[in-house]
Amino acid sequence: MYHMTPVTVSDINLSYVDQDIDNILSGNSWFFEKVAFLRGIFNYRDEIHLQGYNHQCDMARSLQLTLPNWVVGVGTQDTIHFIKQESGTDEGRLFVGKLIVHEMVHCILHRLEISLPCWLNEGLAVYISEQSISSCNDLTNASTWLNELNYNSDGFYIKAAALTRLLVNKYGLAYIIERLGKEGNSSFITEHDVWGIIR
């Protein structure tokens, strides 16, 4: 079996041994700029390993997890596991790049021991990775989302992204991340704050 020397992208401290990943990421300037931004805003420099899979069943087997069919990426403590789906086109490579950035947000939040409600954890990952998720224009019941939103909620990612976008528009991303880093949780974002933004 041929063993490749791990490729390390020194500026952003990523490592991988899969040549497919090199092909997916090479020339994707959005990805490298976004990872550099992410590292800077969280002041996070530890190495993160990328592990790609051709099929979800391979990823689930490696992680020893049963995964819902819709899961295409998982961030663990220092590794991002993802499906290399549709990476043969520019659009597909951008999709995979955004998926990696999304999971990297989860990795970093976990490593920095920042405890967040699931809606803010996913909302930040979607916002920072610029993933295109249908927008949520109906915020009439949004005040109830804070306590009720979970992964089984209808439109969970759409609602999480909508709430997070409102917070970022009010406070700014740098301020939110600075406070999360100092306090280790999102207690500074009160229900009153969110309700005030929504109304």
Please state, in angstroms and rounded to a whole number, the distance separating the CA atoms of residues 51 and 21. Answer: 8
| Range of the structural domain that residue 76 is part of | 1-112
Total domains, the chain: 2
Q: How far apart are CA 67 and CA 24, in angstroms?
A: 24
The pLDDT of residue 45 is: 87
The arithmetic mean of pLDDT across residues 34-47, rounded, is 89
Average pLDDT over residues 92-104: 91
What CATH number is associated with residue 88? Answer: 3.40.30
- Judge if 104 and 29 occupy the same domain: yes
At which of 77, 112, 147 does a domain end?
112
Segment 80-93 shows an average pLDDT of 83
Residues 6+ apart with CB under 8 A from 16: 6, 7, 22, 49, 50, 51, 52
Its pTM stands at 0.85
What is d(CA 25, CA 87) in angstroms, rounded to the nearest whole number? 10
The pLDDT of residue 192 is above 90 = no
Give the helix ranges, DSSP H, for the chain: 19-25, 29-42, 56-63, 90-111, 118-129, 145-148, 156-171, 173-183, 191-198
- Pick from 112, 144, 174: which residue ends a domain? 112
For residue 45, tell me if it sits in a domain.
Answer: yes
pLDDT at 73 over 90: yes
